[in-house]
Structure 1
């Protein structure tokens, strides 16, 4: 019985010695890292404002839509005059660069919308005859956009 008391006393003394050494700096004690509570000094770059496309002199705007966000089912314009159809898109993504797809009747084009600077794309669609056309926009909810369809006389 004496041997087990002596072994227990020795183990307790060794544990106490280890604790005292780690608390007094005599040994290498584990100190958990402290998170940095300071505010970040790096600001995200500001986004440019989103503006509407403007028609040039001599052009007739036949469709103007925006500002909108995300997909749009489109509109049908019935009083399309003869001339050259031009479609202008201004867009800006709130997160990462994101695609926006414009569909005009059976064709279309893609626009890569930036997340920092307003993207401006003008697409000449070619000659039109008097009549109508349908336009739709497909994109994510994070994209804000304006679209304008104009006809310039030939």
Structure 2
């Protein structure tokens, strides 16, 4: 096997990784606890998906970039990642606003118990994990678009 070519097996050896099953479960827990006709949810969800696609595109290209290209794009990638994090915090706030069960997905995604008025600072330690979940969502939307 070629160790220098990215694989799911290599990913599973990384810190704070999420298995496909864990990502599927987080996704399902979000969807089963919302009113899918609620405009607040639909607006935030659309932002989550768009920011996930943007972030995933940059992250997928990262391993093929030269050091100079990475240097030029690094702040943009960070901004994209921060947008993803902010959108998940907004989703949690929509859940709170509508008294929907958020605990099943927030605890697994953020690796934290309840935090009142969660901020990006609160979840920054787990930003790679949350970014991985954003990549999963982009994958789900990509394969369902065929």
Which category of TM-score, normalised to the shorter sequence, fits these structures?
under 0.3
Output the TM-score relative to the length of structure 1. Answer: 0.22
> TM-score, normalising length from structure 2?
0.23
| Higher helix content, 1 or 2 | 2
Who wins on radius of gyration, i.e. which is larger? 1
Hey, which of these two has a bigger chunk of strand by percent? 1
